[in-house]
Amino acid sequence: MSEAKSMKPLFYIILLNAVGAALISISGGSRSAEALVLTGAICVVSIICYTVVRFAGFGDPYLFLIISMLGSVGGIMQLRIRTAYGVRQLKWFLLGTACYFLAMLVFLAMRRLLPKLAPLYVGLSVALYAATLIFGRTSHGSRNWIILGGENGLSIQPSELIRIFFVLTLAAIFTSPPAKKGKKKKTDAEKAPRPRLGPNAVRLLSASAVTAVNLGFLLLQREWGIALLFFATYFFFIYVYGASRGYLLLNAAAAVGVGALGLKYMGHIQTRVEAWLDPFADASGKGYQITQSLFAIGEGGFGGRGIGEGSVYFIPEVHSDFIFSAICEEMGILGGFAIVMLYFVLTYRGLKIALACTNRFNKAVAFGLSLMLGLQSFIIIGGVTKMIPLTGITLPFISYGGSSMLTTFAAYGILQAISAIKEETTDEL
């Protein structure tokens, strides 16, 4: 590939940002300065990072490009919704980029050590859950925020960070060398006798136990969205790592059982399901969010009403969970399709990294992270379009919010690192 050709994807990012900035300036009047700074900064960061990744040989050059595109759409939409959101979103994007490369470097430096730290991941997760339960704030029915530094301090959502620990835990468990029953003694993987069923059954049960602990805490915090995400990720893990059909069915049945119990005893879940089945039964109450979201999508049609031309302020939580509805209102479902395609390509790149990876732990991490983030996009997009019941989680790189942005950047930073390692090994070969 010639150098000119390899720079071509950047052109699309610059084009999107230029058009977005122009449209916001036209429709928003006084916001042109912020729009120019924001979109300009995203363009500059994209160009620098792409060049660094590409020419420093950090592996897959497309991951950051796709993220930049999503971040650009997010920045433009946040700025369009409220100037202050856009400005803060830009700060998160820049910090997130730092997290991305930090996570990449940390993973590269510690990659021999990381597979052995499963107890640490679980410990950190439990500590974060406990902190949330003790110090947490309740927001929209979920107790999932910790505010640091008083009323106007930094609010963080620990479950966003736990997502990464969760995948690392499962990856470590499933790629752990077989341990002898009752003993903590480490054995050399190649020399150890391999009992046919023993080690894998232990792995499956440990994974199930870890997942159960996570889900328990998440349900205590009423984080049904993330709980669903964790369960789905766990389910894919046990599918790929050798669970029998019976065990898969058992897990699915358990999930359905927990869901049914939630439906019966938790008002929070009942509301969500009722609003999903018939949002117009209580369109000014329970169904308010979802009907306003559907009106936005319907009014947008295929081509959208134009950036800045929609009435997105009618949608509750439009800057966070419902940002996809705002995108559909202003860019049409064709614009929405483009966003979905970007998430799909991102998932595809991630799974491709997993497939090409020769290190078992890294492969499992790449698989888990890319699948989890793909599922997260689907769960929230499906939720706000009433395709599936709504469970509140963020749309990666687009929804407003620091915790989500930084941790998602870190997750893809890890993927970037894994793709770089793969190139190292092929170089060595």
Considering only CA atoms, which of 381, 424, 397, 25 is closest in space to residue 225? 381
Packing angle between helix 83-110 and helix 402-428, nearest 10 degrees? 30
Out of 128, 156, 207, 333, the residue judged to bind other proteins by CB under 8 A: 333
Q: Distance of CA 50 to CAs 43, 58, 79, 428, Å?
A: 10, 10, 24, 24
Radius of gyration in angstroms for the set of CA atoms belonging to the chain, rounded to a whole number? 22
Please say which residue, 39 or 293, places its beta carbon nearer to other proteins.
Answer: 293
∠ CA(7), CA(13), CA(18), 5° rounding?
125
Q: Is 104 in the site for other proteins (CB under 8 A)?
A: no
- Taking contact as CB under 8 A, which single stretch among the options 7-15, 91-99, 156-164, 333-341 is the one that binds other proteins? 333-341
Taking CB under 8 A as the criterion, which residues in 219-278 touch other proteins?
236, 239-242
Question: Which tokens belong to 46?
Answer: 């994209």
Nearest to 407 by CA among 362, 376, 367: 376
Selected from 59, 75, 336, 389, the binder of other proteins by CB under 8 A is 336
- Quote the CA–CA distance of 62 and 53 in Å, as a whole number: 9
Alpha-carbon distance of 277 to 67, in angstroms, equals 34
Among 162, 171, 297, 369, which residue interacts with other proteins (rule: CB under 8 A)? 297
List 295, 306, 309, 423, residue binding other proteins (CB under 8 A): 295
166 touches other proteins (CB under 8 A): no
Q: Are 347 and 374 in contact (CB under 8 A)?
A: yes
**Is 357 in contact with 59 (CB distance < 8 Å)?**
no
Minimum CB distance to other proteins smaller for 158 or for 287: 287
| Closest distance of CB 247 from other proteins, Å | 14
Stretch that binds other proteins, among 41-49, 109-117, 296-304, 398-406 (CB under 8 A): 296-304
Which residues from 364-383 bind other proteins, rule CB under 8 A?
A: 367, 371, 374-375, 378, 381-382
Distance CA 18, CA 11 (A): 10
Q: Work out which of 15, 256, 280, 425 binds other proteins, going by CB under 8 A.
A: 280
Q: Which residues pair with 145 in a beta bridge?
A: 137
Please give the Cα distance from 114 to 110 (Å, whole number). Answer: 6
Sign of CA dihedral 104, 105, 111, 116: negative
User: Phi/psi of residue 148, each to 5°?
Assistant: -100, 135
The answer to whether residue 302 forms part of the interface with other proteins (CB under 8 A) is: yes
Which residue number, 353 or 406, has a Cβ lying nearer to other proteins?
353
Minimum CB separation from other proteins for residue 341, in Å?
8
For other proteins, give the closer residue by CB, 76 or 354.
Answer: 354
Closer by beta carbon to other proteins, 216 or else 301: 301
User: Which CB sits closer to other proteins, 121 or 378?
Assistant: 378
Read off the DSSP letter of residue 318. Answer: T
Q: Which of 21, 99, 354, 414 binds other proteins (CB under 8 A)?
A: 354
**Applying CB under 8 A, which residues contact other proteins?**
236, 239-242, 280, 283-284, 291-292, 294-295, 297-299, 301-302, 311, 314, 328, 333, 336-337, 340-341, 343-344, 347-348, 351, 354-355, 363, 367, 371, 374-375, 378, 381-382, 385, 387
